[in-house]
């Protein structure tokens, strides 16, 4: 009877330990539907992560395409983003590139000045 009790506790302990390690990632900046005014297309991305494994990093997916490279820090600067609306998603990946967690998608709008839009006088 005692052996049965021990066997029942082991899976519960493993389940609780696994639940404590759940990875999460969220995009803090840009905000949903935010308009960014930048003529050269620079945008600063800020993410928040929790959980994960040692050596995990952030991969960005812009308009359905994974951007090259991964990032260790919470702030990632992108350059040369074209004008228009874009959808951004962040993924927390392990050292092998396996996705541990993915953020909700965020849509932002890149506004760039144009000679077609002259200021009113």
Domain that holds residue 30: 22-111
Rg (CA), the chain: 21
In a domain, 51, yes or no: yes
Number of domains present in the structure of the chain: 1
The Cβ of residue 10 has, within 10 Å, a number of other Cβ atoms equal to: 9
Q: Looking at residue 51, which CATH number applies to its domain?
A: 2.60.40.10
Q: What is the DSSP string of 4-37?
A: HHHHHHHHHHHHHHHHHT--EEEEEESPTTEEEE
Say whether pLDDT at 19 is over 70.
Answer: no
Say whether pLDDT at 11 is over 50.
Answer: no
Cα 32 from chain centroid (whole Å): 13
Overall size of the chain counted in residues: 121
Please report which confidence band the pLDDT of residue 16 belongs to, taking 50, 70 and 90 as the band edges.
very low
Residue at token pair 């404590």:
20
Say whether pLDDT at 45 is over 60.
Answer: yes
Q: What is the mean pLDDT of residues 10-31?
A: 64
Please report which confidence band the pLDDT of residue 114 belongs to, taking 50, 70 and 90 as the band edges.
confident
């Amino acid at each position: 009877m005692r052996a049965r009790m021990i066997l029942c506790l082991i899976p519960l302990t493993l389940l609780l330990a696994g639940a404590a390690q759940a990875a999460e990632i969220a995009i803090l900046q840009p905000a949903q539907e935010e308009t960014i005014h930048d003529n050269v297309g620079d945008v600063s991305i800020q993410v928040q992560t929790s959980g994960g494994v040692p050596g995990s990093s952030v991969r960005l997916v812009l308009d359905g395409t994974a951007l090259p490279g991964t990032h260790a820090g919470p702030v990632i600067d992108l350059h040369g983003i074209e004008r228009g609306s874009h959808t951004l998603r962040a993924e927390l990946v392990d050292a092998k590139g396996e996705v541990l967690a993915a953020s909700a998608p965020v849509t932002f709008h890149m506004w760039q000045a144009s000679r077609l839009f002259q200021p009113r006088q």
